[in-house]
């Protein structure tokens, strides 16, 4: 892909994209926070299990 074509594609995407409003942003933050907490909890449980077994 040539540079000019790539730039045209990037400009087209930026024209279509819109900035999220406060509600959408807060929902995204909430979902990401839940996912991070879930992964952290699972990792902590693996750690605790490995300490008790090892």
Instruction: List the chain pLDDT tens, one digit each, 54 residues.
Output: 689 999 999 999 999 998 889 999 999 999 999 999 999 999 999 999 999 998
Query: DSSP assignment, residue 19?
Result: -
Residue 39 lies in a domain: yes
Task: Let me know if residue 3 belongs to a domain.
Answer: no
In the structure encoding, which two tokens stand for residue 17, read together?
A: 């994209």
Radius of gyration of the chain (CA): 21
At 54 the pLDDT is 80
Q: What is the pLDDT of residue 2?
A: 87
What sign for the dihedral angle of Cα 20, 26, 27, 33? positive
Domain count, the chain: 1
Does any domain span residue 51?
A: yes
Query: What is residue 26's predicted lDDT score, i.e. its pLDDT?
Result: 97
- Residue corresponding to tokens 């074509």: 5
Query: What pLDDT is stored for residue 1 in this prediction?
Result: 64
Is residue 2 in a domain? no
Give the structural domain span for 37: 20-54
Residue 46 lies in a domain: yes
Query: Please, are residues 51 and 43 in contact by the beta-carbon 8 Å criterion?
Result: no
What are the backbone dihedrals phi and psi of residue 12, each rounded to the nearest 5 degrees, phi first? Answer: -65, -45
């Amino acid at each position: 892909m040539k540079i000019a074509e790539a730039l045209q594609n990037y400009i087209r995407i930026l024209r279509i994209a819109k900035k999220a409003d406060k509600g959408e942003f807060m929902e995204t933050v909430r979902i990401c926070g839940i996912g991070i907490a879930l992964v952290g909890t699972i990792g902590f449980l693996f750690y605790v299990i490995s300490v008790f077994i090892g």
